[in-house]
Amino acid sequence: MEISASANIGKLKLGVFNELLERKRELTANGKSMIDLSVGSPDLPPPAFVKEEIQKHAAEDGNYGYTMGGLSSFNRAVADFYHNRYGVELDPATEVLQLIGSQDGLAHLATAIIDPGDVVLVPDPGYPIFEVGVHIAGGQPYPMPLMEEHHFLPQLEQIPTEVAEKARMMVLNYPANPVTATASRAFLQEAVAFARRHHILIVQDFTYSELVFDGDAISILSIPGAKEVAVEFNSLSKTFNMAGCRIGYMTGNRQVLQIMATMMSHTQYGIFQPLQKAAEAALIRGGNFIEKQRETYRSRRDALVDSLAANGWEVTRPPATMYVWAPTPDGWSSTDFVFRLMEEQGVILTPGRAFGDQGEGYVRITLVQPESILQQAAEKIGRFLSSSDSGHQFR
């Protein structure tokens, strides 16, 4: 019997990350050692008190049942965190919703809100689930180009009025993966005004909120009127190195949260209680850890950018996130550059095209390795760039 995917799922291609992983496996099996700077999975552990919290609660027999959603104490911890860090007041009962990671939430939100054919404005380049979630729901992504000359912010006034009028949702992601930009208060105000004018729901992904190297990230919910038109996603994955724990949350517009909660009451039975308690502890007691974590990434960023420059490749110092986003040197296409570099020097980056058409001509480098390894990677990239057979022939 021939079984095929549904029309919506059939449109999805296997991600470039899978292609990279497959090639990495083949090369590793042949004995090549690799430095993997592709996937943004933190290499460091969460704070010790978070691990202790997991152990303590995991030892209790009563903690193995379905949790049926977020503990009210977790929601309160999120509301306090928002108050303390972003000056935003949230009602824990109606304006906070726990998620099995923001990725899962982003995928489900599209299904919960949009109907087949609905237009959704998505950043290009952008984190793949933004567009994929829309495809799964049968919607139509409309790319908003993020160009370097505009500080990687979408030019909202250039979106044709008929598109803006048809759009149901607009996805923003600041601090941004992969482009590393932050959004100013002025831009967020403009986005809220645009959304109100055109009756569009803003979905702001704030996953990198705590990895800003100069100043602080601004929550869109701190913009007056934002709760009427916006929800914000956040996560424990990057802030507290808890990516494998799969816990995050969304905040903001209570109608949207109610719709999501109804949908999730059918699809999910909640997160393992010890992980919820650990996440709660991280939000309440993690202030010092956040500072240290930010310094670690700042120092890794500087080590990588400086070593790349010393090895012949000048790239911009990113203002935020755990990534460097750089134009490919010598006019390489992003995919040719990444695959040749992997084969010749064993360094794995992500081709910009994995994030959308406007990502072509760029590569993303993650900072999820110690400084010494990042420096080794920079030396290998330098050797690759100066080797005789690298360069223009793959344009």
Ligand X SMILES: Cc1ncc(COP(=O)(O)O)c(C=O)c1O
Residues that bind ligand X (CB under 6 A): 40, 101-103, 127, 173, 177, 205, 207, 235, 237, 243, 248
Min separation Cβ 210 and ligand X, Å: 13
Give dist(CA 332, CA 311) in Å, integer: 17
For ligand X, the closer CB: 71 or 179: 179
Min separation Cβ 99 and ligand X, Å: 7
Min separation Cβ 40 and ligand X, Å: 4
Our measurement of the distance from residue 84's CA atom to the centroid of its chain's CA atoms, rounded to an integer in Å, reads 23
Give dist(CA 297, CA 241) in Å, integer: 12
Task: For 31-54, give the DSSP string.
Answer: T---EE-SS----SPPPHHHHHHH
Comparing every residue's Cβ against ligand X, the nearest one is 101
Alpha helices in 114-252 (DSSP H): 129-136, 161-166, 185-198, 226-229
For ligand X, the closer CB: 32 or 294: 294
For ligand X, the closer CB: 238 or 254: 238
Min separation Cβ 60 and ligand X, Å: 26
Number of neighbours of residue 21 by Cβ within 10 angstroms: 15
For ligand X, the closer CB: 280 or 382: 280
Min separation Cβ 292 and ligand X, Å: 20
Min separation Cβ 93 and ligand X, Å: 22
Min separation Cβ 364 and ligand X, Å: 10
Closest-CA residue to 186 (of 174, 198, 197): 174
DSSP state of 243: G
Sign of CA dihedral 259, 265, 267, 271: positive
Query: Which residues are bridge partners to 230 per DSSP?
Result: 202
Task: For 110-137, give the DSSP string.
Answer: HHHH--TT-EEEEEES--THHHHHHHHT
For ligand X, the closer CB: 133 or 139: 133
For ligand X, the closer CB: 127 or 332: 127
Query: Which residues are bridge partners to 124 per DSSP?
Result: 145
